[in-house]
Amino acid sequence: MDSSPTWWILGAGALGRLFAARLTTTLSLHLIGRHPAGAPLHYHALSSECSSVDVARTTLSALASKAHVRPSLVMLATKSYATLTAVEELAAHVAPQTPLLSLQNGFSIQPRLAELWAGPVLCASTTEAAYVEGDTGVVHAGKGTTWVGDLDNAWPTLARDCVYWLEKAGFSAYHDTAIVQRLWHKLAINAAINPLVARYRIRNGQLRDRPFRRMVDAVIDEIGSLLEEEGVVPPQAGWHTLVWEVIVATANNRASMLQDVLAGRSTERDAILGPLLAAAKRQRRYAPTLETLYHDTPS
Ligand SMILES: NC(=O)c1ccc[n+]([C@@H]2O[C@H](COP(=O)([O-])OP(=O)(O)OC[C@H]3O[C@@H](n4cnc5c(N)ncnc54)[C@H](OP(=O)(O)O)[C@@H]3O)[C@@H](O)[C@H]2O)c1
C-alpha cells in the first residue's frame, strides 16, 4: 500500500471540509475551493470539541503551477448539479486516468461521470452528516458509514484501497459490491423525505403527523414499485420501514433540501427526483405523487 498518496477534494463545502479535516492527518491532501481560502479549518467534532486543523486549502488555478502534486484520486464534494462543471474544470489539471470518487447524493451524476470520464469512477454513499460554519468551520453533525464501490464492479482493488485510507482517517467505511443498490436505497429515502419537508418547511420528525404521514406513504408506494421494476432489490424490511426508520432517527433534523430552500440556494431536486421520473417514463407509468413533488420543489 502506498504509504502516503496525494488526494484532492474538489468542493470545500460541508462534506469536503469534513473529509479533508480527517484525511489530512493520514495522507497528502489538498482541499480545492472556488476561491482562495486560508488554513486552518475549524473542525467541530461529534464530541463538540473544536480543533484547528491545518489543511492545504487551494484552488485549481493555484495548483496548476505545482506539477508535483498531481493526485492519485480526486474526491468530488460538490453538489450534484455543480459536479459536471467542476469535473470539466478539473480535467485540465489531472491525468485523464485519475480515479474520481463521487460523494453526491441521488443517482444522476454517477452514471454520467462513468460515461464521460476516462479513468475509474468510484461512487460513495455516505451517512456522515456535516454542515459548514462560516468560511473556515465545519461541524460533524452525525457519525455515519461510507460505502464505496463502482457501478460495474470493475475497480474492486481501488475501492478497497480507498476504504483503507478512509478507515485510517477514522471513518467507518466499507467496500460495497452492490453500490448501485445502495445509491438507489438512499435516493428512495431522500426522495420520500426531502421534497416534503422542504415544501412544508418542517423538521423530519413532523412527517409523522397528520396530514404528512399519508403523503410520505403515498410517495414510498410509488418509489418502491418504480424501483423494483428497475431491478432494484427492495430492502429486507421493506421500503416503508427503510424510510420511516430514518425519519424517526433524524426526527429533529432540518434536511439539507429544506436548508437550501430557506437559504435561497439551488436544491438537488433533479438528482433525487429526476431519476425516479425518468424510470416512470421508461416504464410508461404515471407517477402523480412524484410529478407533483417535482413541480412543487424549487430546482
Ligand atoms: N453535507 C452532508 O451532510 C452530506 C451527507 C451526505 C451526502 N452529501 C452529498 O454530498 C454532496 C456535497 O454536499 P455538501 O453538503 O458538502 O454541499 P455544500 O456544503 O454546498 O458544498 C459544495 C461545495 O462545492 C463547491 N463548488 C461548487 N462548484 C465548484 C467548482 N466548480 N469547483 C470547486 N468547488 C465547487 C461549493 O462552492 P461555493 O460555496 O463557492 O458554491 C461548495 O463549497 C451533495 O451531493 C450532498 O447531497 C452531503
Q: With contact defined as beta carbons under 8 Å apart, do 137 and 44 qualify?
A: yes
CA-nearest residue for atom 13, ligand 1, is: 79
- 173 with 197, same domain: the answer is no
* Mean of pLDDT over the chain: 96
CA-nearest residue for atom 10, ligand 1, is: 104
Q: Would you state the pLDDT for residue 2? A: 53
Q: Would you state the pLDDT for residue 104? A: 98
Residue from 66, 79, 143, 186 carrying the catalytic annotation? 186
> Which cell goes with 52?
484547528
Residue 38 has pLDDT above 90, yes or no: no
Q: Ligand 1 center to residue 172 CA distance, Å? A: 21
Helices (DSSP H) in 178-255: which residue ranges? 179-200, 212-229, 239-249
Please give the number of the atom of ligand 1 that sits closest to the Cα of 59. 33
Q: Would you state the pLDDT for residue 69? A: 76
Q: Would you state the pLDDT for residue 83? A: 98
Strands laid side by side in the 121-126 sheet = 56-58, 28-32, 6-10, 73-76, 100-102, 121-126, 145-149, 172-175
- 234 with 203, same domain: the answer is yes
Report the domain count for the chain: 2
Using a 10 angstrom Cβ sphere, with 0-12 exposed, 13-18 middle and 19 or more buried, the burial of residue 125 is: buried
For range 27-44, the mean pLDDT: 93
Please give the number of the atom of ligand 1 that sits closest to the Cα of 17. 16
pLDDT classification of 4: cutoffs 50, 70, 90: confident
For range 21-45, the mean pLDDT: 94
Q: What is the CATH number of the domain that holds 212?
A: 1.10.1040.10
From 30, 57, 74, 78, give the residue whose CB has the most ligand 1 atoms within 8 Å, as the site to mutate.
Answer: 78
Omega prior to 40 cis, within 30 of 0: yes
Q: Ligand 1 center to residue 290 CA distance, Å? A: 25
pLDDT tens column, 102-157: 999 999 999 999 999 999 999 999 999 999 999 999 999 999 999 999 999 999 99
Residue 3 has pLDDT above 90, yes or no: no
Omega prior to 211 cis, within 30 of 0: yes
Q: Would you state the pLDDT for residue 1? A: 55
CA-nearest residue for atom 5, ligand 1, is: 129
For range 211-231, the mean pLDDT: 98
pLDDT classification of 213: cutoffs 50, 70, 90: very high
Q: Would you state the pLDDT for residue 115? A: 98
- 166 with 238, same domain: the answer is no
Q: Would you state the pLDDT for residue 232? A: 98
Asked if residue 112 belongs to a domain, the reply is yes
Q: What is the CATH number of the domain that holds 46?
A: 3.40.50.720
For range 213-217, the mean pLDDT: 97
- 14 with 46, same domain: the answer is yes
The pocket around ligand 1, CB under 6 angstroms, is made up of: 10-16, 32-34, 77-80, 82, 85-86, 89, 103-105, 126, 128-130, 132, 256, 268
For range 152-169, the mean pLDDT: 98
Residue 225 has pLDDT above 60, yes or no: yes
Residue 64 has pLDDT above 80, yes or no: yes
**Domain encompassing residue 240:** 181-296
Asked if residue 1 belongs to a domain, the reply is no
- 163 with 95, same domain: the answer is yes
Quote the CA–CA distance of 262 and 259 in Å, as a whole number. 5
* 186 is known as an active-site residue: yes
- 56 with 131, same domain: the answer is yes
Please give the number of the atom of ligand 1 that sits closest to the Cα of 16. 16
For range 49-61, the mean pLDDT: 95
Q: Would you state the pLDDT for residue 253? A: 94
- 11 with 157, same domain: the answer is yes
